[in-house]
């Protein structure tokens, strides 16, 4: 039986079904890379050489398809978070990871939106696995950084991720998206205001 670790199959999927499933994900990857996450589902189906009904049967909602497409990248991000946990500087580790998340969100257009919609309370089972994965991975990093007093203690991982997602979402369609996103993230991390460093002169 052909092993593909990406899809757990309690009931074994029929061979042709799995073949089409993989085709659709591959097609979605390329089409989304070109047209963004709002790409036409029919075009994805056309590109995959299947009917639109097949696509909708395998992925009842667009979110489900995005999850399948982005799953490997999200796993890579989580792995990176785990690696960074052993970093000597938890603050820098967190920032590095957030920057990586932002870069991925800008590069894979719509990942940011996907992450945020994953936070929607509507579907408890469908389409929030990526979101919960990212949140739990980042939460550990944030906990370390907070313990090291490297970040503002009132900041939550949800807020940080939302901030990163928002920046990515806002810049992902710009010509120099990655550059702008990085600048904005730096600004947000360091703050816009200048606090008087030596003496608070209020």
Q: Is 195 exposed, middle or buried (0-12, 13-18, 19+ CB in 10 A)?
A: exposed
Q: How far apart are CA 96 and CA 102, in angstroms?
A: 10
Q: For DNA, which stretch binds (CB under 7 A), given 8-16, 110-118, 161-169, 176-184?
A: 8-16
Span near DNA by CB under 7 A; candidates 10-18, 72-80, 108-116, 139-147: 10-18
Residue 174: other Cβ atoms inside 10 A: 12
Q: Which residues bind a copy of itself (CB under 8 A)?
A: 91, 95, 116, 149-152, 154-155, 159-160, 162-163, 165-167, 169-171, 180, 183-184, 187-200, 202
HSE-up of residue 103 (Cα within 13 Å, Cβ side): 11
Select the span of 57-65, 96-104, 138-146, 158-166 touching DNA (CB under 7 A): 57-65
Shortest distance (Å) from residue 6 CB to a copy of itself: 28
In sign, the C-alpha dihedral spanning 129, 131, 134, 135 is negative
**Of 18 and 99, CB closest to a copy of itself:** 99
Question: Per CB under 7 A, does 190 bind DNA?
Answer: no
**What's the min distance (Å) between Cβ of 121 and a copy of itself?**
8
CB 142 within 8 A of CB 127: no
Task: Determine if 5 is a binding residue for DNA (CB under 7 A).
Answer: no
**Is the separation of the CB atoms in 128 and 120 below 8 Å?**
yes
Element (H, E) at 43: helix 41-48
**Residue 14 contact, options a copy of itself, DNA, none, Cβ 5-8 Å cut-off depending on partner type:** DNA
């Amino acid at each position: 039986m052909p092993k593909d670790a990406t899809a757990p199959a309690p009931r074994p999927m029929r061979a042709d079904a799995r073949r089409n499933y993989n085709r659709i994900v591959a097609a979605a990857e390329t089409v989304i890379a070109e047209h963004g996450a709002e790409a036409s589902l029919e075009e994805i189906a056309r590109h995959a050489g299947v009917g639109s009904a097949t696509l909708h049967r395998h992925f009842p909602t667009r979110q489900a398809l995005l999850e399948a497409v982005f799953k490997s990248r999200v796993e890579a991000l989580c792995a990176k978070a785990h690696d960074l946990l052993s970093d000597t500087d938890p603050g820098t580790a967190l920032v590095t990871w957030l920057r990586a998340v932002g870069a991925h969100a800008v590069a894979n257009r719509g990942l940011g939106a996907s992450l945020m919609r994953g936070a929607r309370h509507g579907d408890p089972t469908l389409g929030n696995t990526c979101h919960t994965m990212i949140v739990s991975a980042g939460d550990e990093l944030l906990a370390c950084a907070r313990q090291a007093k490297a970040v503002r203690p009132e900041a939550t991982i949800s807020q940080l991720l939302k901030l990163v997602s928002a920046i990515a979402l806002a810049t992902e369609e710009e010509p120099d998206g990655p550059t702008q996103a990085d600048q904005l993230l730096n600004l947000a991390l360091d703050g816009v205001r200048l606090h008087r460093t030596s003496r608070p002169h209020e």
